[in-house]
Structure formats: structure tokens, C-alpha cells
Chains A and B, each alone.
Chain A
Amino acid sequence: MALRPILSSLRHHKLTAGLLVLQVALTLAIVANAAFMVAQRLQRIHTPSGLAEQQLSLIRVEGTAKDENHEARHAADLDTLRRIPGVQAAVAVGWALPFSSSVNSYGVCPNEEALKRAMAASSLDHSGCLSIDTYSGSQGFLQALGLRVIAGRDFTPDEYVTGDVPAIMLTRAAARKFFGDKDPLGQVVFAGKHSSRVVGIVSDVVRPMLRGDGSDGEVMLWPQLPDDNETTYLLRSAPADRDRVLAAAATALQALDPDRLIPEAGRRTYTQMREDYFQRDTTMIGLLLSAGLGLLFVTALGVAGLANFWVQQRTRTIGIRRAIGATRTDILRYFQAENFLIVGGGVVLGMVLALILNLLLMSRYELPRLPVWYLPTGALALWALGQLSVLAPALRASRVPPVVATRSV
């Protein structure tokens, strides 16, 4: 089909066509970036924690009397919790856990030289030392969380203490960061002046607050018993039992000591905890999706609206063309080709705009670079959208009878 008549006709509608081009371009730029952000956030909220999340729930106890013996209190509480039917494991845990939004991190050096370097430079930077996120808990917390020892050994019962710990475990990522290819087992690390031995490597688990920079698996575990006025207990049960177990645990713990507080907000299954942690992302996904769809809708309306006008405006011209031999298909194709050209112009401009917008977002919101394949995909989608929205007006144009040409307006 000859494009020349279309182009020369478009030259008469430079402005209207130009505006449509701009609209398509802006839509592509925004929608491509919004789609990319949705993909990013989706990936984020599906980050595996490494825990047996489906089976875990947490209960927080506050306001323990200040002069109480915490260890004895925990032992009594845990004993009670383990007797609840359906509870497979119960442990006390530190305040930081994956997706808990609380962080417990320590500056740790892989050897004494690194420690000296850090001390001399008064900084952890470039010393080989690392501020590392740490999880702790009472005896058996690894197994209760659903973590496995993949090399070395588990903590022994006498290694669980309230102060400085004699032994630690690292994830593979943390071990690689500290020791490179060296065997981490048996190495001694320094947390301040205190040293601990690496006794095992634990299966992958993510840090409490994700950074998304590839370092989320750098985690240390240590056998430190909680020693606060506020304690969190972790319960493991069958997924379906979790709500019942949590309610039973609250009643049982309250019965042990009527004075303390077990707030409703401190009773959560791990599923709820994950949802709370990613709440922001879920909201953002919803917003981005509705904005993107809204934009596409508005653009489709714009295309359809303009095409409608042009069909009305050119009714007589169409009649003449039909009268001198153009088929219905010719008319239909004409409008489709015209739309294809306009959207094509918009798409080319839009791809450039999308990249510029992405650069802007990268500098302001730490968004990664837009993968190139988003651009042709978005372009195809807009082309398809354009063709769909022009179809109805174009069909109407093709049904204009040739006799129109003979009538005066």
C-alpha cells in the first residue's frame, strides 16, 4: 500500500497528529518504567527468606519485672509453650529476624590484622571487617527456624550464653565475604576485643531489612540468649495450626504471670510478618498497575477519538475515493496504516523518553537500569493498542457508501 497519500494527508494535520505522537511517546515512557518498577517490586516481595515461614509464628511478651531472672523465666515459658498440642518446637529469639524490621548488627573482623587496621583507621571501611546482621536465640533456634547446618557442627548446649559468645555460624555468603576461598571452619573472628570461633556454615537466610544489592545473604548466627524486659518466642507448628497455637500460647503465658503484657500486635504468623514488611511494595504495585492501565486507557481513548473525528471530517473524501474505485478494504487499510505511522512515530520518540525517564529515576530513586527488551515489548503493545482503538472508526469509514460523493454537504 502506498504511504505517500497518507503522509501528505498527515501533513495537513501536523498538529493533531503531532499531539497524538507526543501522547503515545509519553505513555510508552511512563508505562515502560512503571512496568519495570512493578517487576522490581514483585521480585522483592518474593524474596525467599530461607526459613520454614509457613510453619512459624511469633509471640512477644513485654513488661517482665525488671529484677526477674530472665533465664529461669524463659525456661519456664518455653516448657509451657512446648506442651501446647500442635507445637513442634518453641524457642526464644533475639529481636531481629528476616522481615522483622528490627536490626541487630555487629562490626566483625575476620582476623586480628583486620581488627588492627580497623582500629588504626577508626573505620570498618577497607579493613576487611564487616558490619554484619546477626540472629540469635535459645538452644535449638536453628532447627526451629527451619535452617540447616551445611558444614561443620551446630552450637553445643554450653555455648548458649547471655553475654559474649564463644562460637558463631555464618551463611555461605558471609563466609565468602570474610574468608574468600579459605575454609571458614575453625577460623577466629573478632567482634571488638572479643573473639569467637566459626563452628559451622548455615543454610542461606536473608538479612532483616533487604538492601537488594546482592549482599542480603550475609548473616551471622550466634548462640546468645535474649536478656531483655521484652522477649519474643518463636513457635513452630503445622501451617493450619498456627492461629490456634498462637491463641493458646497467649493464654498459657498470661496464666504463668498475670502481670506481664502480651499485646495483640505482638502475635503474628510469619506470613503476616512478611505481608507487613512488604506492605509498601504491595501498595506501590497496585498504584503503578492502575496508573499504567489508566494511561493506556486514556491513550486508547485519544486514538479512537481523533480517528472518529477524522472519519467524520473526511466522509466526503472517502465517498469520492469509493466512487472512483477504492474498495472497502482500501479505506480500512488507509486508516490502519495512518494509525500505524502515528503510533510508530510516538513509539520511536517514546523509547528515547523512556530511557531518559529511567536515567532520571536511577539518579533519584536508586532504580536499576531499564532492561532494553522492555522497549520493543512496550512498542509492540502500543502498536497493538493503537490498531485496536482505530479499528471501530476505520470500519465505520469503510462502510461510507460511494453515493456520499454525489451529495452536497
Chain B
Amino acid sequence: MFGYYFDLAMRSLKRNKVLTGLMVLAIAVGIGASMTTLTVMYLLSGDPLPGKSARIYYPQLDPETGADVRKNPADLLDYISAHDLWQSGKADRQTMVVFGSIKLQPGLAGQSPFMADTLATTSDFFPMFDVPFRYGGAWNAADEARGVRQVVISDVLNQRLFGGANSVGRTIVLNGTGVQVVGVLDHWRPRPLFYMLVGARYSGGDTGGYYVRPQDVFLPMPTALDINAGNFGWFSCWGKPDRMDLRNAPCESVGLWVQLDTAAKAAAYRRYLDAYDAQQRALGRLSHPANTRMMSLHEWMAYQNAVPSDVKLQTWLAFGFLLVCLFNTVGLLLAKFLRRSGEIGVRRALGATRGAIFAQCLAEAGVIGLLGGVGGLLLTLLGLWLVRQQPVAYADVVALNVPMLLLTILLAVAASLLAGAFPALRASRVPPALQLKTL
């Protein structure tokens, strides 16, 4: 039966090619626009640490002693607080992160020095964030404490410096100091770069820059403090810092992430954080009123408003567009089906049930939806290509994936069936006797 309806649908669609074309085009454009924006939205708002993000937390306190008290603590900690909390080892895993850049002198002749983005961190960083390695692995904690001259580099930097070969054991020169590569990352592209998602809430929705790829050089914290003094990124200072001395600077520049595997441990860590904050104020190192926080990674991303506001706006716009396209299709299908009232009357008089008429009309709508879906898919690919041409940090991750591809087709067919349901219902209610009389 379905094959016959399909055949009828094709005949009916061929009868008025222009109109069919318009309906298909409208659906294709609507689907293309909404799927492009939805794909970008999906890529930018996904979970950067699937299966683990619920156990990752970001402790905060207010370390400032200046005149201005913030309502919310600054997005980073001062080195002393971060280091104290890190050293306590109260969490299942904990790591500090400090962003910076360093002058890198490649070992090979013919390559000129350049500034590389660095992350000063601690050995827990890699297992805690499930960072994949292609070659080697992280430095160990004991070496880290001694300020070992070892680094982990990204796959991108490994490609640039060593042509992608296994470079474990090779030496690169950072700021005039030779360091040994102990690990090379595999492709790793968390979206957003969640462990450095700071200040996004002030950006007025311009958060595209938080979707950059991870840093190129990962240094053990003590090593970084030794060889890269003066080149760290500050978030905010409440006094004039000595730029060469991050440890004692009156500045927030260190992020502290902890992994707490159970709710009980999380509660215990909150109590510990409060106790530490109280103790430090008792000692006189902190002077502002107590203001501790500990958000989970999800809460932190929501708090920072990570998804760029333009992307959200575009998604709304695209779905508004799709809605108009659907109204368009409903109207045209209604006109089309009702124009065949005579034909439908004959079929009904010959014994076709209402259900049969409904199914036949719906098959026609479905065919339009399928054609529109294929067109929409092509337009989505075009749309995503256009997004990739934009100078935005997330351009390289924008691509159609399987769930989105299926969703595109599904959305197109569902939308056109939805648009077809009402006209089909009307068509199936055509009273046969009345129609036969007018013939």
C-alpha cells in the first residue's frame, strides 16, 4: 500500500513542479539554517569531560585585602591559597593551573623562536581530566616537587617541532633553559577550554575565545616558576605586584580544580575549604569577609555563561525561520490537498477509508519532507563550511557529526509530517457525496 501511495505522491508532486520545488526549498532552507546553528550550539555546549564532569569541582575564596570587596570572589585564586589547598591533598585528585606564554627555541636549525602558550600545572592534571597521550606520559609527582626540567607538549607542537615523530626524550629550549619532553598529547580538544574558563562572565557574551585549543607546553608548576617568571597571565591584582614573583604577588592568577568522587567527599571538602578560609583570616593573611564557593564544573560553565550569546541568538533566529517555513508549507499543502477534493470524493465513494486518504496525503507530505531534508542537509554542510571560514576560535571543531546528521533528516521529515498532518486531516474529512455532485 505504501509503495502505491508513494507512487501517487510522486505523480502529484510532478504535476506542479514549481510549487513542489517551492515547498521543498522552503523546508530545505529552514532545516539548513536551524541545523547549522543547532550543530554549532551542540558542539559548543557539550560536556567537556563526559562521564566525569559531575565529580570535578572548582573551590574559590576571596584572597584580596584591597579596599574593594567583590560580591562574587574573583575567578582565580592567589598562589598561596591555591598552593595550600592543593598541598593538603584532601581531594581524590587536585591540580593547579596557571596560564602563561614562553619563548620557545626549537632544536632544529632553520626554525626561528616563537612564543608558545603554556600551562603551568601539576601531575594530577592529566589523569584527572582524562588527557590522552600519544607518546610517553606525565612527569611524576616526586620529580615535580624537585622542579624537574621535563614538559608535556601538545600534538600540534609535536607536529611543528618534530614532524609528528615520537619526541619523548628530546630536548627543547624554553626561555634559554633546556627541558626534556616526557609526554606528547594525543588530539585533545575540550570545548570550551573549561580549566581556564575565567572572566567569561564579564565578556558580554563574547566567549568565542574560550574555545581555543589547549596550550602547547605543559610545565610542572615549580619548573615554570623557575624558568618562566614574569610571563604568567594575571587575572586581577589588588596591589602592585612584583611581576617576577608569582608566589607572593597580590594577584589572582591560579586556578584550582579538585576531583571529589562522592557527595560525602564534596561536603567534607566544602567544610575543609571553610575551615581553611577561617584559619587564614584568623592568621590575618585574609581580611575580607568569608566568601567561599565550590561549584561543580557544570555549575561553573553555567555561571561563566560559556556559550557565546551570538550563537544562542542565531539558534533562536534559525528556529523562527523554520517556523515561518513550516507555516508556509502547511498553507500550500492545505491548498494542494483541498484542490483535489473531487478526486478524493471519488476514492472515498469507491470505498477508501478516511484513514487511507489521510495516509495518502501524509505520504505526499513525507516525500516533500524527505526531499527537503536532503536539501537541508546540503545547506547545513554549506552553512557549517561558512562557519568554519569565520575567524573564530572554534572554527576547527565545527563539523557535522552522525547524531546531528540523523537529527537533520528526522527533523525535516517530522516537520513536514507535522505540517502535512493538518491538511491531510482536512482532506480525509472531505464529504464524498458533495464532491460527486459537483463533478
A residues neighboring B (CB under 8 Å): 15-16, 19-20, 22-23, 26-27, 30, 34, 62-63, 66, 107, 115, 118-119, 122-124, 163, 192, 209, 211, 228-229, 259, 261, 263, 276, 279-280, 283-284, 287-288, 291, 294-295, 298-299, 301-302, 305-306, 308-310, 312-313, 365-366, 409
Contact = CB atoms under 8 A, between A and B. Distances in A.
Nearest to A115: B67
A287 B317 contact: yes
Contacts of B230: 66, 229
Contacts of A287: 314, 317
7 contacts: A22-B327, A63-B113, A284-B313, A298-B30, A308-B19, A309-B335, A365-B205
A106 to B, nearest CB: 11
Given A15-B334, A124-B67, A279-B391, 8 more contacts: A16-B331, A16-B334, A16-B338, A26-B327, A63-B113, A115-B67, A305-B19, A309-B335
Contacts of A284: 310, 313-314
Contacts of B334: 15-16, 19
B103 interface: yes
Contacts of A309: 19, 332, 335-336, 339
Interface string B313-336: 110011011011101101110111
Given A15-B426, A288-B317, A280 B115 contact: no
A122 B66 CA distance: 8
A299 B326 CA distance: 11
- Secondary structure of the A contact surface, majority rule: helix
Contacts of A365: 205, 309, 312-313
B232 to A, nearest CB: 11
Interface in B4-36: 19, 22, 25-26, 29-30, 33
A301 B115 contact: no
B382 interface: no
B165 interface: no
B345 interface: no
Contact of A280 (B68, B208, B312): B208
Nearest to B331: A19
- Consensus secondary structure, chain B interface: helix
Contacts of A115: 67
Contacts of A312: 339
B229 interface: yes
A211 B202 CA distance: 11
A259 B205 CA distance: 39
B231 interface: yes
B102 to A, nearest CB: 9
Given A261-B114, A310-B335, A30 B321 contact: yes
B206 interface: yes
Nearest to A287: B314
B237 to A, nearest CB: 11
B321 A295 contact: yes
B69 interface: yes
Contact of B324 (A30, A62, A192): A30
A107 B68 CA distance: 9
A118 B320 contact: no
A62 B328 contact: no
Given A27-B324, A263-B115, A20 B331 contact: yes
Interface string B285-320: 000100000000000000000000110111001101
B390 interface: yes
Given A261-B113, A263-B115, A298-B29, A291 B328 contact: no
B349 interface: no
A215 to B, nearest CB: 14
B68 A118 contact: yes
Contacts of B323: 26
B15 to A, nearest CB: 12
B103 A124 contact: no
Interface string B221-254: 0000000011100000000100110000000000
A305 B332 contact: yes
A125 B52 CA distance: 40
Given A283-B390, A302-B328, A306-B331, A313 B69 contact: no
B103 A62 contact: yes
Contacts of A299: 324, 328
A291 B114 contact: no
A172 B13 CA distance: 69
A123 B314 contact: no
Nearest 6 CB-CB pairings of A with B = A122-B69, A19-B331, A309-B335, A23-B327, A302-B328, A63-B103
Given A15-B426, A299-B328, A294 B336 contact: no
A16 B422 CA distance: 11
Interface string B85-120: 000000000000000010100000000011100000
Contacts of B114: 261, 263
A298 B69 CA distance: 54
A163 B423 CA distance: 76
Contact of A19 (B69, B240, B327): B327
A309 to B, nearest CB: 4
Contacts of A276: 391
Given A15-B426, A27-B324, A299-B324, A122 B339 contact: no
Contacts of B332: 302, 305-306, 309
A350 B390 CA distance: 33
A16 B335 contact: yes
Nearest to B287: A122
A273 B405 CA distance: 38
Contacts of B309: 365
A370 B413 CA distance: 36
B201 to A, nearest CB: 14
Interface in B327-385: 327-328, 330-332, 334-336, 338-339
B321 A294 contact: yes
Contacts of B331: 16, 19-20, 23, 302, 305-306
Contact of A34 (B204, B244, B312, B317): B317
Contacts of B206: 280
